[in-house]
């Protein structure tokens, strides 16, 4: 068993609300032959840190580098929304959330799935609970306590964390080029695990700049595309003034996929100054995006009153007194208020609003044409990145077996619901363990 590491330098680098101490294991070589190995992890998000933990568990020395002044910034940001860690649905449903990459990601989840993730969080002293929708959150709904406990544990295992260290590609000898305030280092590592994230929310670190370096080195990557994103709508100025920020509560969105399947889901959306967004839109966004990519546009349909039939809406409108406006009847008798009424008025013509025989059907099936996703940097996540075809089951590159890739930088996507973080953690476990096994098996 490795001895407790010795803290050689204290309280140096801020990790959001967490304080990182640089820790060096006390003579790790004496304790475990594998400790002589040196692994570099680049990217200190959930995937990279999880890979580092697996290596540290095996007694292997690992150094983590991150370009940002603190680690896990996107993870902490996810905590602002409550930190939806995973989902408590049956395995058969869970694995389908990864679309055409389900079979690849299923292998990771067999190693480290929702239950393992919850047990791991509990080991860090944070209990989880299942919300009404089956989504799993940490008690307290915050990411910082979990990250703080995790960083402390990693440090105690001898993992060194180097923030403000940006990986800038490879030099002519294939060494890693890392830039920091101290200058440029050329690092030769026995194994490298890249965990550089996707291509959205650059201000949190995942700027996607790595893609150009990978492509220049001949590593097959798919271009980034927004995932879990909103869409532009050219609202008028007066519409924006009145309705931007208005929620659309409990509506149904219908989208036909490019393969002809009809997707229908009830949930909440939001009218923004730029267009349309929110959980329900994010959930359908991959299908909408694929349609736009293929056909140049996507026609979606809103059911603004999912709990009412066309006949019920007709009956309510028929009882309208001459002095009542249509809007008032819709609002008062049918509950078609705020965002719902705004969307109806924003998308229907005056003539359609006045055509009371047709209006109920329109309310139940209001078409909207979407043509442009919001900019990729706004997306919750991205599709694209390192293609699975060039990876081993252990997530190293077939062409460069000492190089691993994990997390959102791989070419997969998933809806919100905890599926993103679960797969990021799971990929870190798979790659970290494979990497550790390869080093331990190495002839000395």
Ligand X SMILES: Cc1cc2nc3c(=O)[nH]c(=O)nc-3n(C[C@H](O)[C@H](O)[C@H](O)COP(=O)(O)OP(=O)(O)OC[C@H]3O[C@@H](n4cnc5c(N)ncnc54)[C@H](O)[C@@H]3O)c2cc1C
- Using CB under 6 A, list all residues that contact ligand X: 42-48, 65-68, 73-75, 77-78, 81, 83-84, 166-167, 195-197, 201, 205-206, 209-210, 380-381, 407-408, 418, 420-421, 424
**26 or 164, CB closer to ligand X?**
164
Nearest approach in angstroms of CB 240 to ligand X is 23
Nearest approach in angstroms of CB 78 to ligand X is 3
Nearest approach in angstroms of CB 300 to ligand X is 23
Q: Measured between alpha carbons, how far is 243 from 272 in angstroms, rounded to an integer? A: 8
**303 or 383, CB closer to ligand X?**
383
* DSSP string covering 385-408: EE-GGGB-TTSBBSSSTTEEE-GG
Q: Measured between alpha carbons, how far is 444 from 70 in angstroms, rounded to an integer? A: 36
Tracing tokens 């036909």 back to the chain, one arrives at 256
Nearest approach in angstroms of CB 176 to ligand X is 10
Q: Measured between alpha carbons, how far is 380 from 279 in angstroms, rounded to an integer? A: 10
**131 or 401, CB closer to ligand X?**
131
231-232 β-sheet, strand order? 231-232, 275-277, 262-271, 246-256, 298-303, 366-370
Nearest approach in angstroms of CB 350 to ligand X is 38
**73 or 191, CB closer to ligand X?**
73
418 contacts 424 by C-beta, under 8 angstroms: no
Tracing tokens 């990145």 back to the chain, one arrives at 385
**283 or 341, CB closer to ligand X?**
283
Nearest residue to 403 (alpha-carbon basis) of 79, 161, 167 = 167
Q: Measured between alpha carbons, how far is 321 from 255 in angstroms, rounded to an integer? A: 36
**151 or 336, CB closer to ligand X?**
151
Nearest approach in angstroms of CB 87 to ligand X is 9
* DSSP string covering 141-183: S-SHHHHHHHHHHHHHTT-EEE-S-EEEEE-TTSPEEEEETTE
Q: H or E element: which one contains 380?
A: none
Nearest approach in angstroms of CB 435 to ligand X is 16
**187 or 347, CB closer to ligand X?**
187
**23 or 76, CB closer to ligand X?**
76
* Backbone phi and psi for residue 135, each to the nearest 5 degrees, phi listed first: -70, 145
Q: Measured between alpha carbons, how far is 195 from 404 in angstroms, rounded to an integer? A: 9
Nearest approach in angstroms of CB 312 to ligand X is 37
């Amino acid at each position: 068993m490795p001895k407790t590491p010795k803290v050689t330098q204290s309280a140096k680098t801020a990790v959001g609300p967490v304080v990182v101490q640089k820790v060096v294991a006390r003579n790790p070589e004496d304790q475990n032959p594998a400790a002589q190995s040196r692994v570099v992890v680049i990217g200190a998000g959930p995937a990279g840190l999880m890979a580092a933990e697996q290596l540290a568990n095996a007694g292997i020395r690992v150094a983590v580098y991150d370009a940002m002044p603190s680690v896990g910034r996107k993870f902490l940001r996810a905590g602002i929304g409550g930190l939806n860690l995973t989902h408590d649905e049956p395995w058969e449903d869970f694995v389908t959330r990864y679309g055409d990459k389900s079979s690849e990601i299923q292998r990771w989840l067999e190693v480290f799935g929702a239950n393992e993730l919850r047990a791991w969080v509990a080991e860090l002293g944070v209990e989880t609970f299942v919300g009404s929708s089956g989504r799993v959150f940490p008690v307290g709904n915050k990411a910082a306590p979990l990250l703080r406990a995790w960083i402390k544990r990693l440090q105690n295992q001898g993992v060194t964390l180097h923030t403000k260290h940006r990986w800038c590609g490879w030099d002519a000898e294939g060494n890693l080029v890392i830039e920091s305030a101290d200058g440029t280092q050329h690092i030769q590592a026995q194994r490298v695990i890249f965990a550089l994230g996707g291509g959205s929310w650059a201000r949190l670190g995942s700027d996607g700049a790595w893609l150009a370096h990978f492509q220049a080195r001949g590593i097959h990557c798919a271009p980034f595309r927004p995932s879990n994103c909103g869409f532009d709508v050219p609202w008028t100025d007066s519409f924006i003034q009145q309705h931007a920020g208005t929620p659309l509560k409990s509506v149904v969105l219908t989208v036909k996929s490019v393969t002809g399947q009809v997707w229908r889901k009830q949930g909440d959306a939001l009218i923004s100054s730029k267009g349309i967004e929110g959980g329900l839109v994010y959930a359908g966004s991959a299908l909408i995006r694929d349609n736009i990519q293929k056909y140049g546009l996507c026609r979606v349909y809103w059911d603004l009153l999912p709990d009412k039939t066309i006949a019920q809406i007709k009956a309510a409108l028929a009882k309208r007194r001459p002095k009542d406006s249509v809007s008032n009847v819709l609002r008062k008798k049918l509950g078609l208020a705020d965002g719902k009424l705004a969307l109806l008025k924003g998308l229907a013509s005056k003539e359609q609003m006045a055509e009371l025989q047709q209006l109920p059907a329109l309310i139940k099936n209001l078409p909207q044409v979407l043509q442009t996703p919001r900019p990729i940097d706004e997306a919750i996540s991205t599709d694209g990145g390192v293609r699975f075809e060039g990876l081993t089951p252990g997530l190293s590159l077939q062409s460069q077996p000492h190089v691993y890739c994990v997390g959102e930088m791989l070419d997969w996507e998933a809806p919100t619901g905890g599926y993103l973080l679960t797969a990021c953690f799971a990929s870190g476990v798979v790659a970290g363990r494979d990497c550790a096994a390869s080093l331990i098996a190495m002839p000395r």
